[in-house]
Structure 1
């Protein structure tokens, strides 16, 4: 029995981890605070490609409730797993409680809490970034950061409420604005780290850490930090990889999937954030396709206590991968948009997945929450990939009223 902790449904779980659980012969008990959303997301799914799944309401942000719920269900867990940024520490503590393989809860906390991460890397002598924690309203009045600087939630995701500010007036304005909408939210302010934006995708079983690849993200334009395009690098530069891995080692990261964002400043890398889970926005699904490996099964196997194979089951040379997002430019109600699509053309496999539902109303958040959908394309020729992606996007229409 796999116990899977989740908040709202995501493509990583729906298209990646749940089908992988079926291929591994695992029944799934899904603990979530959004049971109806998951039931709607899984309607019509079944057969051999879908696991036997039981959706159980649970206050998953509280590790005590998670442990109590699992114990009360009286179905002995083989693994406790989550791919949610917000639930890594809870899943780690629950796995430890039931004496199962899992991540270190300390590592999960260090990577989730950006202030703690900065302190830990500085204490390890690996990286020093000017940073201050704003745990309570009014503390921004006393900080004297180097400008420009970035203000963001201490435990935020998807670039939500992250903004580059140029001076003290903008700093105070942004803090007031965020706290007016999200009272009590701890913030961090830190020096701006310019440079090309990259990621490193890793997978470990607690003994060996495998580097899966590195994405180069482009089109990110401050003052906000919305991902627009990412290309998988055929071979991540060794010096950068070694520096990232050293930082992961210092934080105790080495079990399961991890997605690390950093900027490259000549030969030096500087970490933006570490997400101790597989990459989202279709990147993990695309990575599995491009590398030709059973990525999601591998991640689940680590939580079952099974060692990873030396070559991860790769089927020859990897393919090129492009991710491109379609982003809202205004808030409102999505009136029309294309549905899911998947086809091959000119040697390119293209997959499109919508992230907003037609009829759904949302505000403009100036973050990755503004993605209307994501295109992922794999192939062997860069020009063909660009042509196929451009042709697909040109033929679609998204209307927000």
Structure 2
């Protein structure tokens, strides 16, 4: 059976998750990407073809002139709509392209939720600096400005008044010519995630995470703590909003806040959670997450019982660069077991690399994954490990 996997840059989810899972399922894999050299350098034995994967028409043509597909899949934020359209063209299982588009387009997501009566958030789009003044005068403060189709908290910033909104909008437009920005009311509350897996008929809730962010005005995810089960009323509210968006096939990673018992979506990433959290979930929950995701795209129904292991505790930490410069010293990749806690540390930036300060997830220098059975012990062991490490950045 032939799996076409659409990708842009290589990711840990594909390299360590989906490609090994495809091999275990006996699938022939063809990677379609607009960065072929980068993928061939990471996994030279996997067939990789160059393709403008941002254009669904180019994807259809590339597949049509190659081998017959049995599944078309992507775990990229940028390519869910294209993968869904291509799968539909070939009569294969996949996501509804309308739902994929509504999740990716943050302004359209707000419109669809409001039209369905699921949630209403004040928001407006900026297509250029000429529209900034009217939006600055109408917006409720504080509010958040962000790219309509952005990822990884890039150029997402909280603003407190019209002057800040004007300044931030001009800065972002200068960095992103032609971009469309969304300005929306700031939603207060603690930030959480909900991880779901469905086959279009059956949907499993895998739990979620409590996310700790950097101080305002930025929104860098610095720490995630596993939540085995959110309160039922909270889960019910989020699932109702996902239903309004048409989300229910494959993996979905939803970010939301809870304030005074009300759960409101921040954004929907219609793919598996990334930044190595999906790798942690497979170990923590003890089930083949990546295989199940691929099986749904092959048309196989999910089992009523996934066999998920109960009683686990987990934490992820992302040490971040606090300045621009060259990383001159950092800990190596490490695997440890301490007091019943399994620690996995992976560098995300090589010693000798120079970077600017991005105020996004691109500031991560490493990731620590910790799993165990007791949350206080997991927290203590994680903190002790990180306190013993050193990351040095020179201007």
Q: TM-score, normalised by structure 1?
A: 0.95
Pick from 374, 386, 395: which aligns with 1:393?
386
Deviation at 1:142, TM superposition (A): 1.0
CA–CA separation in structure 1 for the residues paired with 2:285 and 2:300: 21
Deviates more, 1:334-343 or 1:305-314: 334-343
2:379 is the counterpart of 1:383: no
Deviation at 1:386, TM superposition (A): 1.8
Q: Which runs of 5+ in 1 are unaligned?
A: 44-51
Aligned to 1:360: 353
Residue pairs, 1:53-92, within 5 angstroms: 53-73=46-66, 75-92=67-84
2:141 is the counterpart of 1:140: no
CA–CA separation in structure 2 for the residues paired with 1:3 and 1:277: 16
1:89-121 CA distances to partner (integer Å, 9 max, x unpaired)?
010011111111000110000000000000000
Q: Secondary structure at the match of 2:254?
A: strand
Pick from 89, 94, 105: which aligns with 1:102?
94
Deviation at 1:355, TM superposition (A): 1.7
Aligned to 1:153: 147
1:293-344 CA distances to partner (integer Å, 9 max, x unpaired)?
1100000000000000111132x42411101111011122222322322232
CA contact (8 A) 2:285 2:310 kept: yes
CA–CA separation in structure 2 for the residues paired with 1:54 and 1:343: 34
CA contact (8 A) 1:154 1:188 kept: yes
Deviates more, 1:295-304 or 1:215-224: 215-224
CA–CA separation in structure 1 for the residues paired with 2:124 and 2:266: 15
Q: Which runs of 5+ in 2 are unaligned?
A: none
Q: Secondary structure at the match of 1:228?
A: strand
CA contact (8 A) 2:344 2:370 kept: yes
CA–CA separation in structure 2 for the residues paired with 1:340 and 1:15: 15
Deviates more, 1:351-360 or 1:363-372: 351-360
Aligned to 1:277: 271
CA–CA separation in structure 1 for the residues paired with 2:279 and 2:183: 33
CA–CA separation in structure 2 for the residues paired with 1:188 and 1:366: 18
CA contact (8 A) 1:353 1:373 kept: yes
1:106-139 CA distances to partner (integer Å, 9 max, x unpaired)?
0000000000000000000110111001123321
Pick from 198, 207, 232: which aligns with 1:204?
198
Pick from 261, 266, 276: which aligns with 1:267?
261
Residue pairs, 1:2-401, within 5 angstroms: 2-42=3-43, 53-73=46-66, 75-143=67-135, 144-314=138-308, 316-401=309-394
Q: Secondary structure at the match of 2:226?
A: strand
Deviation at 1:374, TM superposition (A): 1.1
CA contact (8 A) 1:201 1:259 kept: yes
1:36-57 CA distances to partner (integer Å, 9 max, x unpaired)?
21222236xxxxxxxx620111
CA–CA separation in structure 2 for the residues paired with 1:185 and 1:219: 25
Deviates more, 1:150-159 or 1:358-367: 358-367
